[in-house]
Amino acid sequence: EAQVTQNPRYLITVTGKKLTVTCSQNMNHEYMSWYRQDPGLGLRQIYYSMNVEVTDKGDVPEGYKVSRKEKRNFPLILESPSPNQTSLYFCASSLYNPSSGNTIYFGEGSWLTVV
Amino acid sequence: GQQVMQIPQYQHVQEGEDFTTYCNSSTTLSNIQWYKQRPGGHPVFLIQLVKSGEVKKQKRLTFQFGEAKKNSSLHITATQTTDVGTYFCAGNTGTASKLTFGTGTRLQVTL
């Protein structure tokens, strides 16, 4: 089954404790990205990757890191989480750049709370 | 930067009433996509519009792309409780490598 899998789905952590949210897709998609969803703000892009070893900042990259060592994986790293990073995070993938009209497939979401 | 706004932010209708959400961009869009997110779920692709003035239908849903390609709308005829969720538009100018999502419209339908 074609899917985007992210883990963990739910996490409560403390300020400053590094964490990684993993994301994996099995559709051989070249494009992957991370979004955060907050009430009234919609979906905002954090980082995206056009292909292996190619990453770029989205609209809200501060406080986050990503890597794309393999085509299928695109982990999101919070080196020193802060409470304002409490949010619902979505990993997503697309065959190619979605700005060219390719459909985006989203993971199930990861609820992150930083206390 | 490019902004995509949606109105209303929230709408509550009774089952059987119609519903419309509007998406407006500050710049011309090369294409626009619509997604639906059920409560507790993730966004799921509904449709893409590319041509100026394009209209597409999916059963009770009608999607329009404005003539100037700066706005779009989603109209639901005779809403049902299964229509509950948040509807997002997403578009790009064609010069950027990313799709910008609208702020979303949350639809609540009651019996």
* Beta-carbon contacts below 8 Å between A and B: 65
Q: What is the pLDDT of residue B3?
A: 79
B23 versus B30: the higher-pLDDT residue is B23
Which distant-in-sequence residues (6+ apart) come within 8 Å of B6 by Cβ? A42, B21, B22, B23, B24, B87, B88, B89, B102, B103, B104, B105
| Section B72-87 average pLDDT | 98
Widest pairwise Cα distance in chain A? 39
A13 token code pair: 């952590």
Chain B contact for A96 (CB, 8 A cutoff): no
Q: pLDDT category, B1, cuts 50, 70, 90?
A: low
Q: pLDDT category, A97, cuts 50, 70, 90?
A: confident
Query: Is the CA virtual torsion B8, B108, A88, A94 positive or negative?
Result: negative
Closest to B91 measured CA to CA, from B33, B14, B21 = B33
Query: Could you read off the pLDDT of B84-94 as tens digits, one per residue?
Result: 999 999 987 65
pLDDT reading at A112 higher than 60 = yes
Q: What is the pLDDT of residue A96?
A: 85
Least confident of A21-30, A90-99, B46-55: A90-99
Cα gap B47→B74, rounded to integer Å: 10
- Do residues B15 and B79 lie in contact, with contact meaning Cβ atoms separated by under 8 Å? yes
| Section A3-15 average pLDDT | 97
Closest to B31 measured CA to CA, from B45, B52, B14, B17 = B52
Cα gap B36→B83, rounded to integer Å: 9
- Do residues B104 and B4 lie in contact, with contact meaning Cβ atoms separated by under 8 Å? no
B42–A107 C-beta distance less than 8 A: yes
Q: What is the pLDDT of residue B4?
A: 87
Q: How far apart are the first and last CA of chain A?
A: 36
Q: pLDDT category, A98, cuts 50, 70, 90?
A: confident
Chain B contact for A89 (CB, 8 A cutoff): no
Chain B contact for A39 (CB, 8 A cutoff): no
Residues of A in contact with B43 (CB under 8 A): 43, 90, 104, 106
B24 token code pair: 């407006």
Residue A36: count other Cβ atoms within 10 Å of its Cβ: 23
Query: Could you read off the pLDDT of A52-70 as tens digits, one per residue?
Result: 999 999 989 999 999 999 9
Residue A14: count other Cβ atoms within 10 Å of its Cβ: 11
Cα gap A49→B73, rounded to integer Å: 30
| Beta bridge mates, B13 | B109
| Amino acid sitting at position A100 | S
